Amino acid sequence: MADLVYPPVIAIGRTLFAALGLRFTITGAENIPVTGGAVLASNHVSYLDFTFVGLAALPRKRYVRFMAKEAVFRHRVSGPLMRGMKHIPVDRSAGAAAYAAALRALRGGELIGVFPEATISRSFTVKECKSGAARMAQAARVPLIPIALWGGQRIYTKDHPRDLSRGKAITIAVGEPLEAKPTDDTAEVNAELHRRMSALLEEAQLTYPDKPEGDDDRWWLPAHLGGTAPTPEEAQRLDAEEAAARRRRRESR
Return per-residue pLDDT of the chain as tens, 253 residues: 578 999 999 999 999 999 999 999 999 999 999 999 999 999 999 999 999 999 999 999 999 999 888 888 888 888 999 999 999 998 876 678 899 999 999 999 999 999 999 999 999 999 999 999 999 999 999 999 999 999 999 999 999 999 999 999 999 999 999 999 999 999 999 999 999 999 999 999 999 999 999 999 999 999 999 999 999 999 999 999 999 998 999 888 8
Alpha-carbon distance 49 to 97, whole Å? 24
242 inside domain:
no
* Residue 117, helix vs strand vs coil: coil
Assess if residue 62 is contained within a domain: yes
Give a yes or no: residue 150 inside a domain: yes
Chain CA centroid to CA 209, Å: 21
Q: Residue 35's domain is classified under what CATH number?
A: 3.40.1130.10
Q: Are 84 and 5 in contact (CB under 8 A)?
A: yes
* Domain annotation covers residue 246: no
Residue 25 inside a domain? The answer is: yes
The span from the CA of 152 to the CA of 47, in Å, is 8
| Main-chain phi, psi angles of 49, to 5 degrees | -65, -30
User: Does any domain span residue 183?
Assistant: yes
What per-residue confidence (pLDDT) applies to 93?
66
Domain range for residue 74? 6-216
14 burial (CB, 10 Å; 0-12 / 13-18 / 19+) is: middle
The SS3 call for residue 114 is strand
In a domain, residue 234? The reply is no
Task: Of 138, 144, 141, give the one whose Cα is nearest residue 112.
Answer: 144
- Quote the number of domains for the chain: 1
Asked if the structure places residue 39 within a domain, the reply is yes
| Contacts of residue 26, Cβ cutoff 8 Å, sequence gap at least 6 | 55, 56, 59, 172, 173, 174
The per-residue pLDDT for 78 is: 86
